[in-house]
Amino acid sequence: MDTRIDIRKLSLKEVEEFFATLGEARFRAKQVYEWLWKKSAISFSDMTNLSKKLREQLETHFIINAIQEDKVQRSSDGTIKSRFKLHDGHFIESVLIPVPDDRRFTACVSSQVGCSLTCKFCATGQMKRLRNLDAAEIYDQVVKVNQQSLESFGHPLTNIVYMGMGEPLLAYRPVMQSIEHLTSPQGLDMSAKRITVSTAGIAKMIKKLADDNSKVNLALSLHAADDKKRNEIMPINEQNNLEALADALDYFYQKTKNRITFEYIAFQRFNDGIEDAKKLVKLCRRVPARVNIIEYNPIDGADFQKSDAHRIDTFAQYLRDHRVAVTVRKSRGKDIDAACGQLANKN
């Protein structure tokens, strides 16, 4: 059994301490950190500005548990879904969502193996949560999907959304560490304003995100502006009701001024009527948020139907008439089960 430590779990200070035990200069640690987080090296042999002896010493003490591409599916609309194998044999999925006409190339990344929230409309919610991903496993997804974007479209990623498998705010520490590596000048130097963290609604963690002065955007998977309906489809709402969430979201906005989005999947004759729209308008009066209306993507074992186009248009127009910013989004990658709510590690 390999007992070496994954070097990417160590802080820069801890790597510096390791080199000190070897009698090496502290700047060596910064060189290693640059290879790991700026150049995305997955082998010590790549670190060519280190001596061969130092690289061998690193190899003796440490390992780099990079994710491995296991399966890639390409949709007719250009969407690419990838399944990655982790060092312990678990699998996760990531999605590249290209919109070349708008020059938007988005990576949808996972934060957990499975999920514990059991949302009734979500395939991942039917899985058990096996563990949180670590920061490097999240970072690796971005690197891999960025490579796909460059190879397939000749364009780097423009956006990152934490909307894949799992609840990001229940994997808070590795998610925030991954964002640090993605946005730091010592890492990939991406803009935090191009990153969105999506949550099913963990009020205390939304406030923590605000207290930590995060620069990322926040999306709430809302799907009903009514506690009774939301309890029915999202059990997490029983401990984090709309009153608590509205308070937390307002707190987040007042402290950060970062953008908030309500993600709203439209289910036929469940949450897509005018009364539902009225409740959503009321919530948007309380929380300065824009609304993304998303068509439902059927999954096995869920008794929901997607709203028809007329009902969605009527719903959206009511929001616009009441000065709510709204976008109706067409699902992408449906033919490869890569659309919202469909990630489930199918073989």
Question: Which residues form the catalytic set?
Answer: 93, 340
Burial of 332 by CB count in 10 Å (0-12 exposed, 13-18 middle, 19+ buried)? buried
Strand partners, 108: 95, 161
Rounded Cα distance, 96 and 42, in Å: 22
Residue 283, SS3 per DSSP? helix
Burial grade of 239 (CB within 10 A; 0-12, 13-18, 19 or more):
exposed
Length of the chain: 347
Residue 162: alpha-carbon gap to chain centroid: 1
Query: By three-state DSSP, how is residue 32 classified?
Result: helix
DSSP 3-state of 8: helix
In 10 A of CB 280, how many CB atoms?
26
Return the structure tokens found at 294: 């998303």
Distance separating alpha carbons of residues 328 and 332, to the nearest angstrom:
13
Tokens found for residue 155: 């364009």
Helix (H) or strand (E) holding 237: none
